[in-house]
């Protein structure tokens, strides 16, 4: 076999493997959307790939009318949006301080910041829950927002981005009499917009998909969030009577907007995952 032929064979093989893997990866997502158009009975018919007798939006319709789904959706959206806005503010502010100021005990405070990521959420699950009930935050929006608005990871991420901003810009602004707050708002923030975008996506996604915490602190059909709500649908009825059709419609509506968001913003997304983490 000539070198050229061997190269062509290799390239063909590469494409076959990549495309096959991609199809397998997308299969569950495609299946979810496909099943959302079937009735629950049809979902469990054999063979499973049979199309529905009638393509319909019935599942979506009954999901929006028969369940508290719209509430869940709005709750998830509102929590994720509020947390994201606060996270962007507090993390960029603290990241700014760590990147651009010299102050006493800075190193110790930074070690504490990084060290805080070593506390697994599971350790504090119970005391935090007890704390929430003592201060009457169970079923209160505060429990979904306040503890989560200044994550160490976000501060570290913003510090990495802000370090790249030239200090000369700040100096000349200071000489012109700009206050520190103004330097933050008018110089730093506009220049680290890519970093803020990355942090926004990661935060929004984390909040949108979070399960165990809202499961613990939110009670009542109209106050829970999407993942908890969908999991509730799965556990409400036992046996084959579970509303899998509606559940697939619900799952589709949870996943598709996030996937769309990811496709549009993937560059920022991936930058945020690798910054500071991998230095080669």
Partner 1 sequence: MAVARVGRVEKGGFSAHKLTPYAFISPFYILFGIFFMAPSLIALALSLFRWDGINEPRFAQTLNYARMFNDKVFAAAVGNTAVYALASLFIVIPLALVLAVLLNSKSLRFRNFWRALYFTPVVTSTVAITLVFQILYNKDTGLFNAPLIFLGLEPINWLGDRFWAKVAIIILITWRSTGLLTIYFLAGLQSIPEELYEAASIDGASVVQRFFWITVPMLRPIILFVSIIVLLGAIQIFDEPQILMRGSGGPGNSTLTLVQYLYQRGFTRLRLGFASAVGTVIFATVFVLSLLQLRWFGVFREES
Q: Restricting to residues 35-94, which ones interact with partner 1 according to CB under 8 A?
A: 35, 43-49, 90, 93-94
Residue 237 CB, shortest distance to partner 1, in Å, is 11
Q: From CA 28, how far away is CA 259, in angstroms rounded?
A: 14
Paired tokens of 238: 């036992």
Residue 20 neighbours by CB distance under 10 Å? 10
Q: From CA 174, how far away is CA 190, in angstroms rounded?
A: 17
Paired tokens of 205: 């996604």
Which string of DSSP letters, residue by residue, matches 2-13?
-HHHHHHHHHHH
Check residue 127 for interaction with partner 1 (CB under 8 A).
yes
Residue 163 CB, shortest distance to partner 1, in Å, is 7
Contacts for 170 with CB less than 8 Å, ≥ 6 apart: 100, 183, 187, 188
Q: Which is nearer to partner 1, 58 or 215 (CB)?
A: 215
Check residue 16 for interaction with partner 1 (CB under 8 A).
no
Query: Binding residue for partner 1 (CB under 8 A) from 124, 193, 219, 222?
Result: 124
Q: From CA 59, how far away is CA 247, in angstroms rounded?
A: 8
Site for partner 1 in 171-190 (CB under 8 A): 171, 174, 180, 184
Q: Which is nearer to partner 1, 98 or 223 (CB)?
A: 98
Residue 134 CB, shortest distance to partner 1, in Å, is 11
User: For the range 239-242, what are the long-range contacts, defined as Cβ-Cβ under 8 Å and sequence gap of 24 or more?
Assistant: 240/40, 240/44, 242/40
Query: Binding residue for partner 1 (CB under 8 A) from 63, 80, 149, 157?
Result: 149
Residue 116 CB, shortest distance to partner 1, in Å, is 6
Q: From CA 164, how far away is CA 275, in angstroms rounded?
A: 12
Number of residues that bind partner 1 (CB under 8 A): 105
Instruction: Give the residue from 149, 147, 150, 96 showing the smallest Cα distance to 125.
Output: 147
Instruction: Give the residue from 113, 82, 77 showing the smallest Cα distance to 98.
Output: 113
Query: Binding residue for partner 1 (CB under 8 A) from 67, 72, 96, 161?
Result: 96
Residue 197 CB, shortest distance to partner 1, in Å, is 15
Question: Is the N-terminal amide bond of 86 cis, ω within 30° of 0?
Answer: no
Contacts for 86 with CB less than 8 Å, ≥ 6 apart: 145, 149, 150
Check residue 247 for interaction with partner 1 (CB under 8 A).
yes
Query: Binding residue for partner 1 (CB under 8 A) from 1, 4, 5, 118?
Result: 118
Check residue 249 for interaction with partner 1 (CB under 8 A).
no
The region of 54-62, 63-71, 192-200, 268-276 touching partner 1 under the rule CB under 8 A is: 268-276
The region of 51-59, 62-70, 191-199, 261-269 touching partner 1 under the rule CB under 8 A is: 261-269
Build a one-symbol-per-residue string for 214-233: x at contacts with partner 1 by CB under 8 A, - elsewhere. --x---------xxx-xx--
């Amino acid at each position: 076999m000539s070198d050229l032929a061997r190269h062509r064979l290799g390239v063909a093989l590469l494409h076959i493997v990549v495309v096959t893997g991609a199809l397998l990866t997308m299969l569950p997502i495609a299946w979810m959307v496909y099943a959302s158009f079937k009735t629950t009975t049809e979902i469990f018919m054999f063979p499973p790939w049979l199309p529905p007798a009638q393509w319909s939006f019935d599942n979506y319709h009954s999901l929006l009318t028969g369940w508290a789904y719209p509430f869940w959706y709005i709750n998830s959206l509102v929590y994720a949006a509020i947390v994201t806005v606060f996270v962007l503010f507090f993390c960029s502010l603290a990241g700014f301080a760590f990147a651009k100021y010299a102050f006493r005990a800075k190193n110790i405070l930074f070690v504490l910041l990084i060290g805080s990521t070593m506390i697994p959420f599971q350790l504090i699950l119970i005391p935090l829950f007890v704390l929430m009930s003592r201060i009457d935050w169970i079923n209160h929006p505060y429990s979904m927002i306040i503890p989560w608005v200044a994550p160490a990871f976000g501060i570290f991420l913003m510090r990495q981005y802000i370090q790249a901003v030239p200090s000369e810009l700040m100096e000349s602004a200071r000489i012109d009499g700009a206050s520190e707050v103004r330097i933050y708002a008018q110089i730093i923030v506009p220049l680290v917009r890519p970093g803020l975008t990355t942090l926004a996506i990661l935060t929004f996604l984390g909040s949108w998909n979070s399960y165990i915490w809202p499961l613990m602190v939110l009670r009542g059909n109209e106050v829970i969030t999407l993942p908890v709500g969908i999991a509730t649908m799965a556990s409400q009825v036992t046996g084959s009577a579970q509303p899998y059709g509606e559940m697939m419609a619900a799952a589709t509506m949870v996943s598709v907007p996030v996937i769309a968001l990811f496709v549009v913003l993937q560059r920022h997304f991936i930058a945020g995952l690798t910054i500071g983490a991998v230095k080669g």
